[in-house]
Structure 1
Amino acid sequence: MAEGIPLNDQIPFPLFCREHTCGQNAILACSALKKLYRRILENGEFSCQNESGQQENEGPPAPLKILFVHLDGPMDLIASRLRKRKGHFMPLTLLQSQFDTLEPPSAPESFITVSLDGSISEIVAEIEAYIRKTY
């Protein structure tokens, strides 16, 4: 992405497979834009290979309990925030590709949608309140 090239389905799979196998409680921030990517984060991918080309999983791993937080906002708002970032890997030129790729979460996925209209502290407070109430 730093080179101005959007991610494709060949790039995220190994990353998502490694994240699934960590087996610890974690908060992971990523652009799991497609339902397939979110399924891999929850369930793993049977054909994941490590860097030496060896199979990492023998069979289906146990599904993880994951809450996906869909940060929702109009492209012009997100573009204005991207313009303010200094030294970030995501160039503004790739924003449209992110919107084109996005498959918003839907049932039966475990998710909440949070509007980006609020301040960062309001957004975080909404997410924290949901987690406290639900988990």
Structure 2
Amino acid sequence: MQRPHSTHVVVVMGVAGTGKTTIGPLLAARLGVPYAEGDDFHPQANIAKMSAGTPLTDEDRWPWLDAIGGWAQERAGLGGVVSCSALKRSYRDRLRAAAPGVVFLHLTGDRALIEDRMSHRKGHFMPTALLDSQFATLQPLERDEAGVAVDVAGSPEEITARAVAALEALPEPTA
């Protein structure tokens, strides 16, 4: 049975092009919680670097991750969904330090499918040229991390349905 409202704060993670910005709002609507677009937390300097095809450094990412962690902490016990690549374990650890109850929804998929989807996007600052650096940086969820992985093959509605089912199997956070 689907919950009308989840108290989970879900970080929708994955490499560029997996559909975080598409699945995040759909998931939030299904869970009855607000959605925040992780890209909106980037300082302008980060967007300029990525737009120029330059991968971000960890130093570039810390303020961005701290801002997302702050949003997640404010939503603790209330629920929410936020998109954030969260490619490295250290990035997820930083988010968990700010908001210990967050869970991760790792959108995974075949590189060719993701590249094809990226090539059809309009108006996004992340060029397809950075996809290799994203995959090189990616550290998938480890067993001790609260979260689930969902393949991005299929329609957004199918992916969202699989995500909801996987997240429903997780225990609700304790207050």
The TM-score, its normalising length taken from structure 2, stands at 0.63
Structure 1's consecutive aligned runs of 4 or more residues displaced over 4 angstroms after TM superposition are none
Matching residue within 121, 124, 127 for 2:157: 121
- Say how many residue pairs are matched: 117
Once the two structures are TM-superposed, the CA of residue 133 in structure 1 deviates from its matched residue by 3.6
1:8-52 Cα offsets, whole Å, 9 max, x none, are 1111111111222232232110111000000000113xxxxxxxx
1:49 equivalent in structure 2? none
1:47-74 Cα offsets, whole Å, 9 max, x none, are xxxxxxxxxxxxxxxx421111111112
Matching residue within 65, 68, 75 for 1:16: 65
How far apart, in 2, do the equivalents of 1:6 and 1:120 lie? Answer: 27
What percentage of aligned pairs have identical amino acids? 38
Asked if residue 110 in structure 1 is aligned to residue 110 in structure 2, the reply is: no
Unaligned runs of 5+ in 1: 45-62
Please identify which structure carries the higher helix content: 2
Q: What is the 5 A alignment of 1:19-34? A: 19-22=68-71, 23-24=74-75, 25-34=79-88
Asked if residue 98 in structure 1 is aligned to residue 152 in structure 2, the reply is: no
**Native 8 Å contact 2:106 2:150 kept in 1:** yes
How far apart, in 1, do the equivalents of 2:104 and 2:56 lie? Answer: 20
Please identify which structure carries the higher strand content: 2
Which secondary structure state, in structure 2, belongs to the residue aligned with residue 28 of structure 1?
A: strand
Once the two structures are TM-superposed, the CA of residue 112 in structure 1 deviates from its matched residue by 0.7
Matching residue within 55, 63, 84 for 2:120: 84
- The aligned amino acid for 1:108 is D
Backbone CA RMSD of aligned residues? 1.4
- The aligned amino acid for 1:104 is P
Asked if residue 131 in structure 1 is aligned to residue 167 in structure 2, the reply is: yes
